[in-house]
Amino acid sequence: MVTLFTQVYLKFFFLLTPFFAISTFLAMTSEYNPSARRRLAVKVTGAVVIITIGLFLFGSSIFKIFGITLDAFRIGAGSLLFLSAVSLVQGSRKNPMEDKTDDIAVVPLALPVTVGPATTGALLVMAADMQTIGQMTTASAALIGACLTVGTLLYMAGAIEQILGQRGLVIMSKLTGLILASIAAQLVFTGVHNFMAQ
């Protein structure tokens, strides 16, 4: 269970693209004072936890409703995740500044900046792979842990910006993209392998 916790935690820490989220958070809160930024970070964290746990626990019903096989969804989610990874590495993923509103905690900061379509797909695939209640509980705890870690980074975004600088955040986003590309490849290869083995 410890291994499962660690695997899920690390996977979803990177799937939540923390350094891209920090960059976007800082850009969209440039006019906020430190106190307002911290309050917003808490709101974003709460929204991310609710969204991810909801998808993880109840998203598998999507497979039943639409008659989608798990391996087909693996391939689709992996392909989408790979595109997200490429955009991070190339630096072409945009900060949705045009969507700025008075309350930006849920949209766009929680969804789709932190929990994007690729993260949603990976959540659904992982939930479908869980066989026991123990595994679901462990994975849920790891997922919440990953969300809280990203939330803590958002809470400390100002200090992180001073330490890393904007260039440092860009470099970390690119490294995150490389890791996401590896996860995407694993999803696609597993889906294709299982499909061919049928």
Q: Show the tokens assigned to 78.
A: 């992996």
Length of the chain: 198
Position of tokens 């291994």?
Answer: 3
Place of tokens 């996401």: 180
pLDDT at 97 over 50: no
Per mean pLDDT, which range of 21-35, 57-71, 162-176, 184-198 is the poorest?
Answer: 57-71
Q: What is the pLDDT of residue 61?
A: 79
Tokens, residue 152: 């803590």
Highest averaged pLDDT of the listed ranges 44-48, 83-87, 111-115, 180-184: 44-48
pLDDT band at 77 (very low <50, low <70, confident <90, very high): confident
Amino acid letter for position 17: T
The answer to whether the beta carbons of residues 191 and 74 sit under 8 Å apart is yes
Residue 23 burial (C-beta neighbours within 10 Å; 0-12, 13-18, 19+): buried
Is residue 188 within 8 A of residue 83, CB to CB? The reply is no
Q: Which helix (H) or strand (E) holds 91?
A: none
Query: For residue range 7-24, what is the model confidence (pLDDT) as tens digits?
Result: 999 999 999 999 889 988
- Residue 30 three-state SS: coil
Q: How many CA atoms lie within 13 A of 88 on its CB side?
A: 32
Burial of 197 (0-12, 13-18, 19+ CB in 10 A): exposed
Predicted confidence (pLDDT) per residue in 138-191, tens digit:
999 999 999 999 999 999 999 998 998 988 888 888 888 888 888 889 889 988
37 backbone dihedrals φ, ψ, rounded to 5°? -60, -45
78 or 101, which is more confident? 78
Mean pLDDT over 42-57 rounds to 95
Q: Is the pLDDT of residue 101 over 60?
A: no
Closest CA to 188 of 102, 113, 118, 93: 118
Q: Are 189 and 54 in contact (CB under 8 A)?
A: no
> What is the tens place of the pLDDT at every residue in 104-142?
899 888 987 899 777 888 898 888 888 899 999 999 999
Token digits of residue 143: 């997922």
What is the reported pLDDT for 93?
A: 58
